[in-house]
Amino acid sequence: MNVLLVADDLTGTFDGAVPFAPYGVHVLTRCRGGEDLCGLEPEAPVLAVNAETRHLDMEESARRVREIVRWGIEHGARVVVKKTDSALRGNIGAELEGMIQGAGGGCVHFIPAFPRMGRVTRDGVQYVDGVPVAQTVFGDDPFEPVTESRVSTIVSSQASAVDIFEVGLDDVERIGSEGIAVYDALSEDDVRLRCDAVLKHSHCALLAGCAGLSSALAQILFEAGTGPATLDVQLDSFDPNMLVMCGSVNRVSADQCAYACEHGAPAPELPLDAKLDPGWVDTEEAASFIEQTVQTWSSSPVTVLDNSERFTRELIEGSGRVWDVEAIRSAVASCLGSVTARLVRAKGNCTVLVMGGDILQTFLMHMGIVELSIIGEPLTGVVMSEFSSNGAVVRVISKSGGFGSPDLFISLQEKLAKQAGKGVLV
């Protein structure tokens, strides 16, 4: 194992792991600390672990990261990466502090930029498409609003026992320092140069950042420029008809669902109970819904289950339930994951796109999947993986909610259909 990558949710795990796919990556879909790794002997140079910390408190998040990092270093990892959200959501500061503790000290080199996706860090502030992140759709998130744009402010509010440094474009790397160094980066070259400098001067490098960091590391560590430029994956049993399970409430996701429906994609409507009542999947109503949706899925290039509407206090209380944001988030993720699993089992060989890391996690849990294989990245920021279940091959596509053009579902399916006819995904 050369690289240990630790993410806070499953979508982030895939995003961080996919740049390493051509070189060999083992993905663990959930891990609650070092004890879950006992006996694991990774057979690939990269181990990507979902620590499931996005919605935990800071203390437990730090503990999990600390134990996983300690285990990784004991097992020879020479590069440890904390995959972070490019919009700075989650317990970033606490997890970076836990990373330092697990390594027994040192400096975490935090490069939060992802220039290819419009995320850059300038003068210590995180921008999304030229706008400070707290002023974008991420600041309007009903569950995890980002209220601050300066990276070091977010980190310091969660990491109280370490020093935090801002490193400008013209400043030298904080090699040998103790604490967390937050780096500016405006281009992919900026990210790559910072990574290269840290790797050259560190016996065991501690790095943090989003998928842009993983891309730079893959180029540097694994024979830069010699990896496959395309994905040559055999798709003999590949069904390009795609079911979209949208569990993201981001406005970008809502626009993508609306665009697909405006261009002919059917959109079966899930009742409220399907999203809030775990027992709904066992009802006759659910059986009928699943049967009809599978028929639609089989005959339509794109089928959309749009759950991007925002739950209001009035809607929840009107249904006889108590308003509790965290309980609602958890219930929706569990219910939609369960519905997705029922649909996939009924379909057999299939392709399903899941938006929302919590829903993706519960879907795999209901399918009994703890490890899977990453195929690659059919579009930028869109990850395809696969697993087998009862003789069927299930190809899972995942993406974070807050990016992509409105026509993403349509253009992705058209590309998959075109390549399926050739028997490969390129």
- Please tell me the predicted confidence (pLDDT) of residue 251: 86
Compute CA distances 353 → 64, 257, 404, whole Å: 29, 12, 14
- Please tell me the predicted confidence (pLDDT) of residue 223: 63
- Please tell me the predicted confidence (pLDDT) of residue 183: 97
Does an H or E element contain 47, and which?
A: strand 46-50
Please state, in angstroms and rounded to a whole number, the distance separating the CA atoms of residues 192 and 113.
Answer: 11
- Please tell me the predicted confidence (pLDDT) of residue 224: 47
- Please tell me the predicted confidence (pLDDT) of residue 233: 47
- Please tell me the predicted confidence (pLDDT) of residue 284: 96
Please state, in angstroms and rounded to a whole number, the distance separating the CA atoms of residues 248 and 265.
Answer: 18
Compute CA distances 289 → 120, 269, 284, 285, whole Å: 43, 9, 9, 6
Q: Tokens at residue 423, please?
A: 């028997």
Does an H or E element contain 337, and which?
A: helix 325-347
For strands 242-246 and 179-183, give the pairing.
unpaired
Query: Which stretches of the chain drop beneath a pLDDT of 50?
Result: 224-235, 422-426
CA atoms within 13 A on the CB side of 399: 25
Q: Tokens at residue 60, please?
A: 């437990």
- Please tell me the predicted confidence (pLDDT) of residue 225: 42
Does an H or E element contain 198, and which?
A: helix 188-200
Prediction pTM value: 0.78
Evaluate whether 255 touches 406 at the Cβ level (below 8 Å).
yes
Please state, in angstroms and rounded to a whole number, the distance separating the CA atoms of residues 357 and 29.
Answer: 11
